Structure 1
Amino acid sequence: MSEQRFIIEMGMGNDQYGQDYTKAAARAIEDAIRHSAIPMFDATGLSHEDMRVQVTVGVQQPDRVDCAALAAKLPRGRATVRAVEGGLDVENPDTGKILVIASAAVEAFLPKQSD
């Protein structure tokens, strides 16, 4: 059975002091899902386990993101997270420390419902 995307949310997060790409990505994901409410599960009787959640996070150093830890924190559905090159690293000219900025797209899919 094919799937149908029914939601996409975008978010942004950062880590200002620790140069932690996973923390910045987690905040971007949280920002995206914080804006969503999906009442159709209660209205239709569908299970959250029927939902596949696909998250893409963009950071300058994708290899420094713990995608498994991020997927484990998602509250609903069968989640996967992948990190790609994106986001921003901004250097503080006074200290040389890097501010990590991540962006996230959270997509949710359900099996295609009959017409």
Structure 2
Amino acid sequence: MALKRFVVEVGMGMDLHGGDVTNAACKAVKDAVSHSCLAGTIDIIGLKTPDQMHVHIKLGCPYPDKVDTRAVEKAVPFGSTEIEVVPGGLTVKGLDLPQLGEGDTIVAALAALTVYVDV
């Protein structure tokens, strides 16, 4: 058996107050997951459980060294995961509203999820 690529899905996430790149990254992964219904893994390939999938997360965001990768991986509902964080995304000046976060930076992150199945 070997891992074969099944689907690639892309998502975007933002932290609008405080510049939290981990928050933006988690939202990007959840956005990508929300675009996917992987019925073919069961109906066509015949997987017994979604835990047989492997998900590679490629994440582009500002300040890649500040991303809590464990928190980001938890945004994938099942299967094994691995994460690659590269420089990318966007920062822009937003509003300083202490009730919503520290600082005035908007951070945007992009996530590409590649789902592999063992066939």
Name the TM tier (shorter chain). Answer: 0.7 to 0.9
Are 2:38 and 1:31 equivalent residues in the alignment? no
Shift of 1:57: 1.0
Query: Residue in 1 aligned with 2:99?
Result: none
Q: Counterpart in 1 of 2:13?
A: 13
Q: Is the Cα–Cα contact under 8 Å of residues 41 and 47 in structure 1 kept in the other structure?
A: no
Unmatched 5+ stretches in structure 1: none
**Is the 1:54–1:107 contact (alpha carbons within 8 Å) kept by the matching residues of 2?**
yes
Q: Does the 8 Å contact 1:68/1:81 carry over to 2?
A: no
After the TM superposition, list the runs of 4 or more consecutive aligned residues in structure 1 that deviate by more than 3 angstroms.
Answer: none
- Contact preservation (8 Å) 1:59, 1:87: yes
SS at match of 2:24: helix
CA RMSD of aligned residues (A): 1.8
Cα offset, 1:33, TM superposition: 0.8
Letter in 1 for 2:115: A
Contact 2:26 2:71 in 1 (8 A): no
TM-score (norm 1): 0.86
SS of residue in 2 equivalent to 1:37: coil
* Mapped contact 1:60–1:89 kept (Cα < 8 A): yes
Question: Normalized against structure 2, the TM-score is what?
Answer: 0.83
Matched, 1:69 2:71: yes
- % same residue: 34
- 2:117 paired residue number: 110
The aligned length equals 111
What amino acid sits opposite 1:60 in the alignment? P
What displacement does 1:73 show? 3.2
The whole-number CA distance in structure 2 between the counterparts of 1:31 and 1:45 is: 24
Deviations 1:11-67 (A, max 9, x none): 111001021100000111111110110113442243222211000111110011101
